Amino acid sequence: MTRRVLPGLPGTLGLTLFYLTAMVLLPLAALVIRATGIGFGGFAAQIGSPRVLAAFRASFGIAFLAAWVDTLLGLLVAWVLVRYRFPGRRLLDALVDLPIALPTAVAGIALTELYAETGWFGAPLAALGIHVAFTPLGIGVALAFVGLPFVVRAVEPVLADLDRDVEEAAATLGASSWQIFRRVILPPLWPALLTGFTLAFGRGIGEYGSVIFIAGNMPGISEIVPLLIVVKLEQYDTVGACVLGSLMLLASFAIMLTINALQSWSQRRLGN
């Protein structure tokens, strides 16, 4: 007799497939069908406009740089949380997840207030000639803010599982702190760092709420793709919005496949 995963509910597989089809597959399929219904020429014309290309450069380019910043800072934060014990550590650990729990619009307003030319951080930076709010740099700040938890949570468990005896053995053999970090600690962390980077990058290219307030939203300069989709919908250009949405969907699938590949690689490395 076959044992069911959920006893007493024989239709679990059918319900699951129905739910995924109705809530995920059909809406995404409708988006792609509407976008491709205009033909290759119309599709190319939609994505080939200077404004659209500039929005993609802003979204993907700044998200890529912000993910690199998050990778470096996330490794540092994870290291402190795992390797040190200090008063307020639990509070700091909880604050790491705050960008995920915080509504993105609230984060955007808070960052704008901080980094505007009259804000706590923005005023001294403006005195140095560095303008953050309403510039592409502001987009990077917002994306780094929302992406940091993904790197920390990807690296933290791997760092906690590392065998400290190997580090002590390397130290007794005369290895310096930098050599221990580079040759003993960093190699097993690479899969987790790459996973965290990919997650932060994926969150960044689709971020909207925390960006629109601090970006300035100037076409060709600080306009991101999610905002341009909203603009096209407000202009009743549904087809153009679907084209941009389908491209973002394709990017999301590519990121998901990359994350799965990195996780499989990480499991194989840990298994060896």
pLDDT tens digits, one per residue of 84-129: 888 988 899 989 998 988 888 898 899 999 998 888 998 999 888 8
> Token match 């792609």: residue?
32
Average pLDDT, the chain: 86
pLDDT value at residue 76? 94
Query: Tell me, what's the pLDDT at 81?
Result: 92
Tokens of 238: 């549904």
For residue range 51-84, what is the model confidence (pLDDT) as tens digits? 999 999 999 999 999 999 999 999 999 999 998 8
pLDDT at 74: 95
pLDDT reported for residue 14: 78
- Residue-wise DSSP of 172-228: HTT--HHHHIIIIIHHHHHHHHHHHHHHHHHHHHT--HHHHHHH---TTTT--HHHH
pLDDT value of position 184: 84
CA pair distance 158, 82, nearest whole angstrom: 10
Closest CA to 70 of 156, 144, 146, 153: 144
pLDDT at 137: 92
- Please state, in angstroms and rounded to a whole number, the distance separating the CA atoms of residues 169 and 149: 32
CA separation, residue 31 to residues 28, 37, 187 (Å): 5, 10, 41
The pLDDT of 244-270, averaged and rounded, is 80
Residue 188 has pLDDT above 80, yes or no: yes
pLDDT at position 269 over 70:
no
Indicate the pLDDT class of residue 136, thresholds 50, 70 and 90: very high
Q: How far apart are CA 70 and CA 80, in angstroms?
A: 15
The one-character DSSP state at 163 is: -
What is the C-alpha radius of gyration for the chain, rounded to an integer number of angstroms?
23
Residue 190 confidence (pLDDT): 87
- CB-based contacts of 27-36 (< 8 A; 24+ apart in sequence): 28/249, 31/242, 31/245, 31/246, 31/249, 32/246, 32/249, 34/238, 34/239, 34/242, 35/239, 35/242, 35/243, 35/245, 35/246, 36/246
Q: How far apart are CA 123 and CA 131, in angstroms?
A: 9
Q: 96 is written with which tokens?
A: 């790491």
- Is residue 9 over pLDDT 60? no
Looking at the chain, the whole-number percentage of residues with pLDDT higher than 90 is 29
C-alpha span between 120 and 245 (Å, rounded): 37
- pLDDT band for position 7 (50/70/90)? low
pLDDT for the residue 60: 93
- Over residues 208-225, the pLDDT tens digits come to 888 988 988 888 888 899
Tell me what pLDDT residue 53 has.
Answer: 92
Return the amino acid letter for 207: E
**Is the CATH number 1.10.3720.10 carried by domain 44-271?**
yes
Per-residue pLDDT tens over the stretch 227-256: 999 989 888 888 888 999 998 988 888 888
- How many Cβ atoms sit within 10 Å of the Cβ of residue 133? 24
Decide if 110 contacts 197 (C-beta within 8 A): no
Q: Is the model's pLDDT at 142 over the cut of 60?
A: yes
Q: What is the pLDDT of residue 4?
A: 55
Q: Tell me what pLDDT residue 80 has.
A: 93
What pTM value is reported for the model? Answer: 0.85
